Amino acid sequence: MNNFIFQNSTKVYFGQGCVKEYLACLTKHAHTILLAYGGGSIKRNGVYDEIMDVFYSAGKQVVEFSGIMANPTYAKVQEGARLARACGADMILAVGGGSVMDCCKAVSLAARYDGDVWDDFWARPGVIDFEPLPLGVIVTVAGTGSECNGGAVITNEEKKIKTGRDYPALNARFALMDPTYTYSVPQGQMVSGSFDILSHIMETYFSAPDEDNVSDDIMEALMRSVIRNLRAAIQNPRDYTARSNLMWDATMAENRLIKMGKQCDFECHNMEHQLGAYTNCNHGCGLAVLHPVYYQHIYQEGLPKFMRFAQNVWGIPREGRSDQELALAGISALAAFIREIGLPTTLKELGADKAQLRQIADSCGISQGSYKKMTHDEIYKIFCECYE
């Protein structure tokens, strides 16, 4: 295993009823709270009322920052920072999925920084040598794992760049995670969020080192859990066991624990982020289109791991198969699962413009952790193979 340092500063409160039980205590020192959310699902499913009841009883001043869009933009970050300053907020409470949580991490930084946070913290890595505005999160959809890391993916619309940075100083102070809050997530989003979880695990699993290490063993169990519980949640969206497993799978995939000792790939994420910058496509849907084709391109360089994936994640027997056939059977099982759960399989379905594929490919970051050193030409080839 490679050397590592591990710390995760977010305190998690997990389970049905956690918001009612703990929110008042967790916000007791805040006078003015910036309550951030997305397009309004929390107003339709009762989550907003539950939160406001707590704040009303505690006499808090609440200022709303709403309308945070999927794939949050830098302009929205600036809007949130202006609002936080104007109202003198001493805490941000982000209620939603990855988009709301990521936007609020950037707001927490921008509200306490006089320069341009895009230039100084997203366009290039920066150093946070001041205290960002304290952030707490309430998770309403399982997927990104943003609740337990310092990652924030922001889209700069003018520059056509969607990029993530991970600053431990931006970890939320607390994360409230009630699986029943995810019951109202539309099936399409539940499925794409779950694929995002699977993708985070695969992007970590398919990377060096491949000798015996506990992270790989944990990841196989997590991948089986996502597959099993997603199938159960599709059958019954109010299956508490399935929803709670998916919610915790998401956190486990991105709370940095499984990355310990691993190099990590994330080339598919690099590609998806740039597709998102050009098409505004759904994150998990973009990943679903890319993964099987990308893996066909790299499996020869990571053959033993792809063979292990086929056997330990998909239960494909070794007997009667060559190494190549076994590895490819695992990739086919992944592609079949994507079709089974109803995710898109072509870039055309995501609304990508074929004429722009070359430009998008050239704008993608190149991962240092891939089994195979990618080039922009090969990324373009992958995009073309994914197109229809």
Q: How far is 278 from 257, CA to CA, in rounded Å? A: 32
Helix (H) or strand (E) holding 36: strand 32-37
Nearer to ligand NZQ, 190 or 326 (CB): 190
Written as one letter, the residue type at 263 is Q
The token pair at 316 is 């494909």
Pairing of strands 91-96, 11-14: unpaired
- The distance of closest approach from Cβ of residue 284 to ligand NZQ in the complex, given in angstroms and rounded to an integer, is 6
Sign of CA dihedral 167, 249, 286, 77: negative
Half-sphere exposure of 267 (CA within 13 A, CB side): 30
Three-state SS sequence of 84-152: HHHHCCCEEEEEECHHHHHHHHHHHHHCCCCCCHHHHHHCCCCCCCCCCCCEEEEECCCCCCHHHCCEE
- The distance of closest approach from Cβ of residue 47 to ligand NZQ in the complex, given in angstroms and rounded to an integer, is 7
Nearer to ligand NZQ, 27 or 71 (CB): 71
Binding to Zn ion (CB under 5 A): which residues in 38-77? none
147 makes contact with Zn ion (CB under 5 A): no
Picked from Zn ion, ligand NZQ, none, the partner binding residue 149 (CB below 5 to 8 A depending on kind) is: ligand NZQ
Binding site residues, ligand NZQ, CB under 6 A: 38-42, 45, 70-71, 96-100, 102, 140-141, 143-146, 149, 151-153, 164, 181-182, 184-185, 189, 193, 196, 254, 269, 283
Out of 196, 216, 249, 265, the residue judged to bind Zn ion by CB under 5 A: 196
User: What's 73's DSSP letter?
Assistant: B
Picked from ligand NZQ, Zn ion, none, the partner binding residue 334 (CB below 5 to 8 A depending on kind) is: none
Preceding peptide of 317 cis, ω within 30°? no
Nearer to ligand NZQ, 245 or 316 (CB): 245
Picked from Zn ion, ligand NZQ, none, the partner binding residue 292 (CB below 5 to 8 A depending on kind) is: none
Nearer to ligand NZQ, 81 or 247 (CB): 247
Picked from ligand NZQ, Zn ion, none, the partner binding residue 305 (CB below 5 to 8 A depending on kind) is: none
Instruction: Scan for tokens 């539940």, then name that residue.
Output: 190
- The distance of closest approach from Cβ of residue 81 to Zn ion in the complex, given in angstroms and rounded to an integer, is 25
- The distance of closest approach from Cβ of residue 98 to ligand NZQ in the complex, given in angstroms and rounded to an integer, is 3
Residues that bind Zn ion (CB under 5 A): 196
